[in-house]
Structure formats: structure tokens, C-alpha cells
Amino acid sequence: MITSEEIALYIQSIPAAPSVVQEALNHVRAGDLQKAAKCASEDPALSLYLKTLVNRPIYGFRNEVTDVAQIFGILGLGGAQQTLYNYLLSLLTPKKWELFTFSNHQFYDLQASISKHWEAILAHLKINDKEIQSAISLIPASIIVCEALFASRKTEVEQLRSVKALDFNTILFRISGSGLFDISGEIARKWEMSERIVSLIRSASAVEQNLSSQERVLAQWMHLLLFYELSQPPYVSAGLNEFIDFKIEFVQDIYESFSQVIGYACEQ
């Protein structure tokens, strides 16, 4: 059994943002992309990450983008903030995944795809909010935490899957008493995101009932997006789709609009 205290201690052990990332985030929050880009360009590891991420196929650039200022200009304030959070995830990503059978290359593709599609969704909803745009990065972060928690009990997890045919989501609840969205909420607090983001990420589980109209809309789109992303073949093979208890009744009124938005984003 993993106690809530153990989960809290693990999350607390996540390193704080390096000073250069924190400074870049502060500039983005203040609305100054030029200073943020100048700051980011001074860190070789961060610069390389930005170039690698933005030049993935999901972004669809015909020519390689190498200038950090240009990258931040393309991403905009919300995208730049979200990408900096994604960089923090890259610092936590294990060198080798012990339980989830996929590679870091596939994990970065997942990050890029989720980020790009969430951006398209918020544009469709006419929501221009940097913090809400960054919230989607919490799901990949919680997957990393689950990998670490499960890897430390690999034998127990594998026995539960083989003998009792339990999915990862059920196992997570059984051994920790927390779900993926609960862990995401705790990471949000670690990264000093506001309580409204904690509430949003938890409402995306489709379990929360008392939601405002905007909270419900965002929760619906996030729930459907995560189901869509984690249902792609590499992530089904890894078992990540098992973390989303898909609630069709929760999202059925946006299903057609979602298909149009994602379809259009994939064509770009």
C-alpha cells in the first residue's frame, strides 16, 4: 500500500524549477516574450529542448525552427508557458520506463500532441488564459509520478494485472487511494498553480458534480482530449489508456465539435 504521505513526499521531492526556467516563466507571466526568450536562450539544455519539441511533426513546420525568440513568438504567451512546464517534465522523465512499455521519444510525442490539441480546443472555445493552457501539462507529469510509484512495486503491480486482470487505474486506487487526477492536482500545487487549476484538472475525471458552466465545458473537453490521446496505439500498448475511465454521457454533447476541432488541427 502506498500511503498519501508517500505520494506527498515523492511530489515534494520533485525539484523546483531551475532558476533560468523560473525566470523565463516570470517573464512569460508578465507578458514579455522577448525577455523570456533571451533568458531561455542562455540555457543550452532548455534551448535544445525547445527546438526538439517545436520541430516535431505535430507542429507541421516545413523548415526547422532554431531561433528561441522565433519559437516563443510562434508559441505565444500561453504556449510558451506551457512549453516551459513541459520542459520541467523532461527533467523528471526516467531514462528507462520500467513499467509502461514505451520510449521517451513516444512520451515527448504525447506531450507535443496533447499541448497542440489543447491549444486548438481553447482557441475554439475563445479562451485566452495562459494558466488554463498550461494545465494540460499536469497529465503527462502525473504519468511520470505513476511510473515511479509503480516501478517501486513492480512485482505487486504485475501480479495484480496478471492474476486479477486489473487495469492501471484500479491498481493505482487500490495501492494508493488516489487517482491520476488527484496526483495531477498535487503536482499543480507543487508548481504553484492556482487552486482553480487544481479544481479544473480534477473535474476532468468526470466525477465532480458541482461545476460552474465554464468549469463543466473545460472539464468535458479535457476529458475527451485525454481519452482521445491515450487511445492512440502506442499508448494503448503501454497501458496508459487504462487511466481514463471514459464517461461517454459526460461528453456526448461536444463529441461532434471535438471531432471537427481535432480533425482541423491535424490537417494544419
| Nearest residue to 240 (alpha-carbon basis) of 90, 43, 106, 112 | 106
The Cα–Cα gap between 214 and 230 comes to 24
Q: What is the pLDDT of residue 1?
A: 58
Are 112 and 53 in contact, with CB atoms under 8 Å apart?
Answer: yes
How many alpha carbons lie under 13 Å from residue 196 in its C-beta half-sphere? 11
For the CA atoms of 136, 25, 21, 105, the dihedral, rounded to the nearest 10 degrees, stands at 30
Residue 135: burial class (beta carbons within 10 Å; 0-12, 13-18, 19+): buried
Strands, E assignment, the chain: none
The Cα–Cα gap between 214 and 170 comes to 29
Q: What is the pLDDT of residue 157?
A: 87
Q: What is the pLDDT of residue 237?
A: 92
- Cell reading at 144: 511520470
- Cell reading at 178: 488516489
Are 204 and 222 in contact, with CB atoms under 8 Å apart?
Answer: yes
DSSP state of 67: -
Q: What is the pLDDT of residue 175?
A: 80
CB atoms within 10 A of CB 206: 22
Residue 62: burial class (beta carbons within 10 Å; 0-12, 13-18, 19+): exposed
| Nearest residue to 40 (alpha-carbon basis) of 54, 53, 23, 59 | 23
The Cα–Cα gap between 65 and 155 comes to 44
Q: What is the pLDDT of residue 2?
A: 65
Please give the angle made by the CA atoms of 85, 184 and 59, to the nearest 5 degrees: 40
pTM: 0.80
The Cα–Cα gap between 133 and 147 comes to 24
- Write out the chain's pLDDT in tens, 268 residues: 566 677 777 676 665 567 888 899 889 888 999 999 999 998 888 898 888 878 877 777 778 888 999 989 888 888 888 888 878 777 778 888 988 888 888 888 898 899 889 999 999 999 988 889 889 888 888 898 888 888 888 888 888 888 777 888 888 888 888 888 988 888 888 777 889 999 999 899 988 777 888 889 999 999 999 999 999 999 999 989 988 889 999 999 999 999 999 987 666 6
